[in-house]
Each structure stands twice: as structure tokens, then as C-alpha cells.
């Protein structure tokens, strides 16, 4: 079974802090994704990566950056957290154009 | 940009009734995926459709991809309480690993 793990289930940060969200997958998938999920808006793609050190912007990359130094690990960075970044963050991985396997999510609250 | 609309937003059914959710894309898709998210859980990949007019079945679930590859549907026959959750479609245009998710249909099944 594919396993995607995320570093925290719940996180509370203050406005202006730098926030790191980590995602690790154990199935050697080349593609990894970061989404945020908000009520009524579904899942929106922030960034994705199709290979180590490769990344592409999704639909809402502003205020975020990513890092993929190793194939199994994809990090999402909030450079300076703001209250409008309070959300559920979901990481996913996939093999080729196959189905995406999601982690359990990190519920981030920025106060 | 590419948009994926999903209707209805909510559906309440009596146990045993059928349920259908529809997904419509503003552009032609290369493939479409369907996911289920249980309350409090993360999206779980159900199936992928690639060919025009394709129909796939998983027990009581029937998935269809439209002839023009711009729409798709998920039909559940004789719903059960275990079908409760939000169903998302996600479409990808040709030449990209980027998927646009629909806003989801939340299904409640009344026993």
C-alpha cells in the first residue's frame, strides 16, 4: 500500500512566522502535489513536482514555495504566514498520470 | 483557465435510492479521476477514465466519461450508509500532470 505521511496533523502558527509542512511518500512516485482544501472551494493546487528539484506552480502559488531535494520528500513553505492561509493542507503523490494518493492532511491555523 | 464544475453540491438520499453526480469541464480533458473523501478523512482515489465514452463499474458504482471528453458522471445504485462522503472529480488536460478538482458533491444517506 502507498503511504503518504505529513509531518503534523494540527499546527498553530502566528502571523508572520515561517512555516514548513513536510510530506513523505514511500512508493517511489515521481509526482508530488500540495493542495489546500477550504469549505466550498474544493481542493486547489498550490504546487506540484514531477521530479527531484523540479516544480511547477499550481493555481494558487502566491505566498508559498516548495522544495524537493529527495524523491520521497516534498516540502511546502509559507514564507510569512497570514491568517488567510488558515486551511487544511493535503499532500499527494502519483506514479505517472495515475491516481493520486493523499496524506492525512495538516490543519493549519494562523492567528 | 480550465474549470471543472460539479453538481449537485449536496445530495441527501434515503438508503436504497440511487445517486448521481455530474462533472463538467470547460476544456477537453485527457483523462478524469474520481475520489471519495469520508467525513474527517482525506480523498481516496477510486478510478481513472481515459477513453472517450468509457464506462467502468466498481460494484454499485458506475463511472462514465463523455464522448467529447468534457464531462463525466458517477452513479451509485442502491446507496448504503457506507457511501456517505464527498465525491470529487479531477480532470487533466493533455500534456500535463496538473489536475483540476471539481468542488465536490457531498452525499448524505439517511437510514
The pLDDT tens digits for B41-91 are: 999 999 999 999 999 999 999 999 999 999 999 999 999 999 999 999 999
Closest CA to A64 of A26, A31, A2, A108: A108
Q: Which pLDDT score, from 0 to 100, does residue B98 have?
A: 87
Cβ B99–A45 below 8 Å, yes or no? Answer: yes
Summarize pLDDT for B14-23 with one digit per residue, the tens: 999 999 999 9
Cβ A45–B97 below 8 Å, yes or no? Answer: no
Query: What average pLDDT does the structure give for chain A?
Result: 95
**Chain A contact for B43, CB < 8 A?**
yes
Q: Which pLDDT score, from 0 to 100, does residue A28 have?
A: 93
**Chain A contact for B1, CB < 8 A?**
yes
CB A29 within 8 Å of CB A95? yes
CB A100 within 8 Å of CB B99? yes
CB A3 within 8 Å of CB A53? no
Q: B8 Cβ partners below 8 Å, 6+ apart?
A: B21, B105
Amino acid at each position: 500500500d502507498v503511504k503518504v505521511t505529513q509531518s503534523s496533523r494540527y499546527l498553530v502558527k502566528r502571523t508572520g512566522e515561517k512555516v514548513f509542512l513536510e510530506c513523505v511518500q514511500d512508493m517511489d512516485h515521481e509526482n508530488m502535489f500540495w493542495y489546500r482544501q477550504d469549505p466550498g472551494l474544493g481542493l486547489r493546487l498550490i504546487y506540484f513536482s514531477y521530479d527531484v528539484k523540479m516544480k511547477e506552480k499550481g493555481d494558487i502559488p502566491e505566498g508559498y514555495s516548495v522544495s524537493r531535494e529527495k524523491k520521497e520528500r516534498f516540502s511546502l513553505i509559507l514564507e510569512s504566514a497570514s491568517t488567510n492561509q488558515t486551511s487544511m493542507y493535503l499532500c499527494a503523490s502519483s506514479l505517472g498520470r495515475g491516481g493520486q494518493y493523499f496524506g492525512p492532511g495538516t490543519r493549519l491555523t494562523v492567528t | 483557465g480550465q474549470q471543472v464544475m460539479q453538481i449537485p453540491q449536496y445530495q441527501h438520499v434515503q438508503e436504497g435510492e440511487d445517486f448521481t453526480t455530474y462533472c463538467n469541464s470547460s476544456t477537453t480533458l485527457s483523462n478524469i479521476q474520481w475520489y471519495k473523501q469520508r467525513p474527517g478523512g482525506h480523498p481516496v482515489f477510486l478510478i481513472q477514465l481515459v477513453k472517450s465514452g468509457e464506462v467502468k463499474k466498481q460494484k454499485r458504482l458506475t463511472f462514465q466519461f463523455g464522448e467529447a471528453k468534457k464531462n463525466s458522471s458517477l452513479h451509485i445504485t442502491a446507496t448504503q450508509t457506507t457511501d456517505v462522503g464527498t465525491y470529487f472529480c479531477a480532470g487533466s488536460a493533455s500534456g500535463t500532470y496538473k489536475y483540476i478538482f471539481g468542488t465536490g458533491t457531498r452525499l448524505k444517506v439517511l437510514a
